[in-house]
Amino acid sequence: MRLIFFLLACLRVLATAQAADGAPKLKVGITLHPYYSFVTAIAGERAEVVPLVDAGFNSHNYNPQPADIKRAMTLDALVLNGVGHDPFALEIVAAAGRKDSLPLIHANAQVSLVPIAGLEGAEKAVNPHTFISISAAIQQVNTIADGLSRLSPADAPEFRRNARAYTGRLRRLKAETMTRIAALPRLELRCASVHGSYDYLLSEFGLEIAFVVEPAPGMQPSATQLRRTIETLKARKIQVLFAEEEFPAAYVETIRAATGVRTRFLKHLTSGAYSAEYFEAGMRYNLDQLAEALLDASQANDGK
């Protein structure tokens, strides 16, 4: 019995020592997979990163669930895309009664936003896919680090140090791709996209999307629109069609068969399991696909 009391006393001492070892961890909610990676890299052990929504959701048409509202009630802060990719988050915050009490960190506060390029016959809309980019991701990481530093000033030096280390890795990732294509006489690629997701990524390499297949975000083309798409890709001599790996569309094969255009798949970075490595792994894949498309286009141009 004395041994049991001794062990319980030791546990209480350990618990007290752990609780006294700095301030409690922040509980930071995130709305999209890249922000899980960003906040994890910035905060390290000083925060618990909580996905507001369970993995496997479609951010374009998600309806809030009771479990989401319960999570929102427990958060110290929430990191938002805030420019069109997570409107469900504000519904959840309001339903949780946290509209005026939950600190929001708008990741895109310092990002120069662009309209979705290449949409035919549609009103221009702001492109919310800033997280599919190295340069825009670096800006978002710094904005998130500043927001977390305001919430926990004692941890600010660590947050900013971690942010510098993480953005350094991202810069090296882009540099590796630039090295692969540095010998090309010019960066030239006539490309189309199934979904208007990749403008920020391509703009980093001086490239533009010439045509977007979807008539509006998330809307599949009708038979008539698909026929016009095929005619347009032929007329503009499109060299590559970027499709989405996570959300395959059956009509992509129809386009490829009718036009002969090369198809490459890019990651939308909003599906699968949340992880610290998610963003870097996904962007490495996307950059590899882009580099291969540029190298293929260069070879094709040289062969003419």
> Would you say residue 18 lies in a domain?
no
**Is residue 193 one of the residues assigned to a domain?**
yes
Q: What is the pLDDT of residue 24?
A: 84
- What angle is formed at CA 67 by the lines to CA 66 and CA 72, rounded to 5 degrees? 100
Distance CA 132, CA 111 (A): 13
pLDDT band at 5 (very low <50, low <70, confident <90, very high): very low
Assess whether 29 and 171 both reside in one domain.
yes
Q: Tell me, what's the pLDDT at 260?
A: 95
Q: Domain for residue 14, yes or no?
A: no
Q: Which residue has the higher pLDDT, 125 or 7?
A: 125
Please check whether residues 262 and 283 belong to one and the same domain.
Answer: yes
- Asked if residue 219 and residue 128 are part of one domain, the reply reads no
Same domain, 82 and 213: no
- Secondary structure of 1-43 as H, E, C letters: CHHHHHHHHHHHHHHHHHHHCCCCCEEEEECCHHHHHHHHHHH
> What's the CA gap between 255 and 274, in Å, rounded?
33
Domain count of the fold of the chain: 2
The pLDDT assigned to 300 comes to: 77
231 and 192 in a common domain: yes
CB 196 within 8 A of CB 127: yes
Among 16-20, 153-157, 245-249, 284-288, the minimum mean pLDDT is found in 16-20
Q: What is the pLDDT of residues 174-199, one digit of tens each?
A: 999 999 999 998 888 999 999 989 99
**Same domain membership, residue 127 and residue 88:** yes
Q: Do 34 and 153 belong together in one domain?
A: yes
Domain end, chosen from 154, 175, 196, is at: 175
Give the list of residues 6+ apart from residue 241 with CB closer than 8 angstroms, or none.
191, 192, 193, 194, 213, 233, 252, 255, 256, 261, 262, 263, 264
Q: For 285, left (φ over 0), alpha (ψ -120 to 50), or beta?
A: alpha
Range of the domain at 125: 25-175
Domain contains 2 = no
d(CA 86, CA 60): 8
Q: Is residue 147 part of a domain?
A: yes
**Does one domain contain both 242 and 284?**
yes
In this prediction, residue 18 has a pLDDT band, given cuts at 50, 70 and 90, of very low
**230 and 161, same structural domain?**
no
In 3D space, the residue among 146, 138, 144, 145 whose CA is nearest the CA of residue 167 turns out to be 138
| Mean pLDDT for all residues in the chain | 89
Last residue of a domain, one of 175, 203, 223: 175
Report phi then psi at 228, rounded to 5: -65, -35
Confidence of residue 6 (pLDDT cuts 50, 70, 90): very low
pLDDT at residue 153 tops 50: yes
Q: What is the CATH number of the domain that holds 154?
A: 3.40.50.1980
229/282 same-domain check:
yes
- Residue in the block written with tokens 């000033």: 153
Q: What per-residue confidence (pLDDT) applies to 10? A: 38
